[in-house]
Structure 1
């Protein structure tokens, strides 16, 4: 097998359709079908179950797919490093950032980095920490900001910040005068929360499980601005990092009786290639956090 065949194989596996895969690869569909058939003949195994509408990986195809991803990532890393040695590219940093940190912690750092390195390209993706972890493992991101708990063994990390998680209400909410709040009192209220996959929601689900509490979830959204507006208007309360409430008027932060501190880290693939641009970004963040 060769790299071209592996790229074709991965594209068909992802698209589950030869026509869509050929369109994405910008080649003729018959040429793609011939290439895949040749790959199957060369290795002596059927990689796809074919029908008129979709194709699916066979067990042998499922076994090959992670190897194909790993080989193509290694080739991409090698090409990037060689290009840097030749001085043919200025560099790009692909960063994944959760919503709360992307809105309140990172803007000044990103602008400062861009001012120092104007020729480097920054591509910033906003997503939940679970999605960011997976995108790092899949090679879709170079660097990601994740919760420091349960970090996959394939990732390296460096500590970024620690911030307290607090209950958040509107200024005129009946609970706004309290100096602290129990978990039971919090979960008795109507709540607005991020959807599963964000460290904010991971915290909520973990507390519910440990205290055997069923939360009263009235709203779920991945939009931080919507969460803030719902809380401001008194329709629900939420839990956010304290650093958010320090920048938002009309919101009251109430610490939990059992203090909760979240540790946040920057992460990258342990055996992946970190470009000069990636290393410059990591160093800059560590110096300016």
Structure 2
């Protein structure tokens, strides 16, 4: 018994005619007939009978149909789940980012990015400090990073994105001192040593162009 026999039997039951079922299955009618005969021989019972030019199920055929439908449904669900998982994986972008970038920059940029591409992407965010992010990008664990520039990672590409304000927040000193506001430049970082996925490359192109 093989899967084709299950699909053939299922379609024959739906169409009630060998000619119609064979046409729907894109096979020759003798091939369909031989497949059903082989199935009946293997099960040692008649699954169908002909009545007034129509194919009808026997009681054994009805029992077999329930199992065949269940198997086909399980297979179709498995195919759907696999394809769905592949789609997510193919549209997944892993981003290492400092917390402020995730809160303030990335939600806006990814929203506009998806609208322009008419696609939905799956983002996996990894919060971290800049040095850790650069290391993971260098090792190919993140597709890209949003962080400060670390000069020791000379093999990474750093593209300036925006400047953010930083504040000294130590509570005791902050209440006593008039501390100056400082700024830091936030960069997009990625590696050319590792092949980027198509969605990641699209996002980088979108951000930098």
TM-score where L is the length of structure 1: 0.36
Report which of the two has the higher share of helix.
Answer: 2
Structure showing greater relative contact order (alpha-carbon pairs closer than 8 Å, 6 or more residues apart): 1
